[in-house]
């Protein structure tokens, strides 16, 4: 390890953790079906008052996300960033049960207010259905680069 570059990280305090989660808009949702894992970048909204993460998913009728979602009892969600050329970074890992909310729970206007614009890849926009899922955290771990090394 003498030749490997490294930085120390420390636990994130509650104020910084909440700030990072409320200011960020995307992360990686990890789901599982038995021994097969599936990770996907998603847009999210952290609802601090209700202690939940609302995650927007789309489906064109052929999406693996929803099949994995239905099989996942406890999801993992990662929010992270590297902020500058010096490598100052932070990450938050959230674990907890996840469930699909009824499609009528949010209007299009509410979805637009809560989430960044929808990223469409090669799907036909007319074929997409937007779903909102809720992850209720049972464990939240935040780490950040230590200062003053």
Most confident of 56-65, 82-91, 94-103: 94-103
Domain extents in the chain:
9-143
Residue (of 38, 103, 44) closest to 71 by Cα position:
38
Residue (of 35, 45, 65) closest to 135 by Cα position:
45
Cα–Cα dist 47/50, whole Å: 6
Instruction: Give the pLDDT confidence of 14-65 residue by residue, as tens digits.
Output: 999 999 999 999 999 999 999 999 999 999 999 999 999 999 999 888 888 9
Instruction: Give the pLDDT confidence of 125-135 residue by residue, as tens digits.
Output: 888 889 999 99
Q: Which CATH architecture has domain 9-143?
A: Roll (2.30)
């Amino acid at each position: 390890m003498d030749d490997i570059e490294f930085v120390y990280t420390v636990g994130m305090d509650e104020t910084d953790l909440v700030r990072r989660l409320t200011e960020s808009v995307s992360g990686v949702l990890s789901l599982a079906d038995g021994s097969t894992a599936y990770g996907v970048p998603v847009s999210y909204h952290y609802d601090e008052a209700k202690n939940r993460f609302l995650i927007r998913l789309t489906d064109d009728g052929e999406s693996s996300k929803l099949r994995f979602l239905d099989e996942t009892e406890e999801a993992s969600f990662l929010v992270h960033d590297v902020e500058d050329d010096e490598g100052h970074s932070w990450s938050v890992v959230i674990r907890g049960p996840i469930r699909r909310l009824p499609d009528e729970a949010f209007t299009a206007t509410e979805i637009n207010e809560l989430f960044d614009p929808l990223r469409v890849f090669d799907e036909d926009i007319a074929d997409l259905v937007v779903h909102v899922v809720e992850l209720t955290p049972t464990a939240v771990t935040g780490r950040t680069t230590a200062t003053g090394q």
